[in-house]
Amino acid sequence: AQSVAQPEDQVNVAEGNPLTVKCTYSVSGNPYLFWYVQYPNRGLQFLLKYITGDNLVKGSYGFEAEFNKSQTSFHLKKPSALVSDSALYFCAVRGTGANNLFFGTGTRLTVIP
């Protein structure tokens, strides 16, 4: 079975400050981890993924994420938040042999000017 937990429904951060959106996962076998962003009335846009290799992965729009196997976490980070980063962020996992992504419940990020 696979599952994803996003412990924070809402994250508020001031513009220019670093941001972190948390994600922990549970999966059988090797985890394949993804972050997506959703703007109002839109579909999901791919930000970045971890498949194997370096624990720090870089993605679109200056976002990065750190894979921590011992803590089964894959937190999304950005050094300096922009107001335009305000959106709904989803962490997702795909287990070995699975064809589908399993999504968390999402974290709403608000960047305050």
Partner 1 sequence: DAGVTQSPTHLIKTRGQQVTLRCSPKSGHDTVSWYQQALGQGPQFIFQYYEEEERQRGNFPDRFSGHQFPNYSSELNVNALLLGDSALYLCASSLLQGGIGSPLHFGNGTRLTVT
Residues that bind partner 1 (CB under 8 A): 4, 32, 34, 36, 41-46, 49, 51, 90, 92, 94, 96, 98-106
* Smallest separation (angstroms) from partner 1 to the CB of 14: 25
Instruction: State the Cα–Cα distance between residues 59 and 91, nearest whole angstrom.
Output: 14
Give the list of residues 6+ apart from residue 50 with CB closer than 8 angstroms, or none. 31, 32, 33, 34, 57, 65, 67, 74
Q: How far is the CB of 38 from partner 1 (least distance, A)?
A: 9
Task: State the minimum distance, in angstroms, from the CB of residue 10 to partner 1.
Answer: 12
State which residue, 41 or 70, has the beta carbon closest to partner 1: 41
Comparing CB distances to partner 1, the nearer of 14 and 46 is 46
- Measured from the CB atom, is 67 or 90 closer to partner 1? 90
